[in-house]
């Protein structure tokens, strides 16, 4: 596989920068780097998911493909009585996530390097959030959905952001197949937020 963000050990030269991201009344300062997804700014899809997601107060939350951390850290900030586990295959992304949590004083998180959900497949969660790694291919994205279903508690929800032109119809169909039903919560600028609950 070519060296892009869905890579275990990126070899591209480091280019560390800092960006700011507003979550409610809180401004997060996030370090990013070359070789991670959306390094210049928090991408529109992630922002739409962060704005849309509904998190139970004491939820155990999983962020799959966390990158440098915007979705999971936002979830941890919005859900201070809950706990967020963040996973990514990319070791550079995982290092950045841990640093970003520390520098923003966010403690209710755990970070693991993981191919899909392999590092957490014995754990159970109330919410799984993902802006899935489209460049890894449909097989990988659908495997994330399958593993998320297995890791969810009954009543737990999978929240996915995906662009229509990058496979939202097939993602919706896969989630319907797994969960029995799914719904499109919102859409904006070609992005869809799809949610499904485990019965």
**Tens of pLDDT, residues 114-162:** 999 999 999 999 999 999 988 888 999 999 999 999 999 999 999 999 9
Q: Model-level pTM greater than 0.85?
A: yes
Q: Summarize pLDDT for 12-57 with one digit per residue, the tens.
A: 899 999 999 999 899 999 999 998 988 889 999 999 999 999 999 9
Residue 49: the pLDDT is: 98
Q: Summarize pLDDT for 48-87 with one digit per residue, the tens.
A: 999 999 999 999 999 999 999 999 999 999 999 999 999 9
Average pLDDT estimate for 88-107: 96
Average pLDDT estimate for 2-8: 59
The overall average pLDDT reported for the chain is 94
Average pLDDT estimate for 6-14: 79
Assign 2 a pLDDT band (cuts: 50, 70, 90).
very low
Task: Answer yes or no: is pLDDT of 6 > 70.
Answer: no
Which tokens sit at 193?
A: 């937020």
Residue 133: the pLDDT is: 87
Query: What is the secondary structure of the chain as a DSSP string?
Result: --SSSS-SS--SPP--EEEEEEETTEEEEEEE-TTSTT-SS--HHHHHHHHH----TT-EEEEES-TTSHHHHHHHHH-TTSEEEEEES-HHHHHHHHHHHHHTT--SEEEEE-STTGGGTT--EEEEEE---GGG-HHHHHHHHHHHHHHEEEEEEEEEEEEGGGTHHHHHHHHHHHHS--EEEEEETTEEEEEEE--
Residue 165: the pLDDT is: 85
Higher pLDDT, 71 or 10: 71
Task: Answer yes or no: is pLDDT of 187 > 60.
Answer: yes
């Amino acid at each position: 596989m070519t060296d892009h963000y869905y890579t275990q050990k990126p070899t591209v030269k480091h280019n560390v920068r800092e960006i700011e991201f507003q979550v409610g009344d809180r401004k997060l300062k996030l370090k990013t780097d070359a070789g991670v997804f959306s390094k210049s700014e928090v991408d529109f899809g992630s922002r739409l998911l962060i704005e849309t997601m509904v998190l139970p107060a004491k939820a155990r939350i999983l962020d799959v493909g966390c990158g440098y951390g915007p979705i999971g850290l936002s979830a941890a900030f919005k859900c201070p009585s809950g706990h967020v586990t963040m996973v990514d295959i990319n070791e550079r992304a995982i290092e950045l996530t841990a640093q970003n949590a520390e520098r923003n004083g966010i403690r209710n998180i755990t970070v693991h390097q993981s191919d899909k959900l392999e590092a957490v497949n014995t754990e159970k969660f109330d919410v799984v959030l993902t802006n899935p790694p489209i460049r890894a291919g449909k097989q990988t994205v659908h495997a994330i959905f399958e593993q998320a279903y297995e890791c969810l508690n009954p009543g737990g929800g999978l929240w996915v952001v995906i662009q229509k032109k990058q496979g939202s119809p097939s993602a919706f169909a896969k989630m319907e197949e797994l969960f029995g039903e799914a719904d499109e919560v919102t859409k904006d600028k070609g992005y869809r937020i799809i949610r499904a609950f485990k019965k």
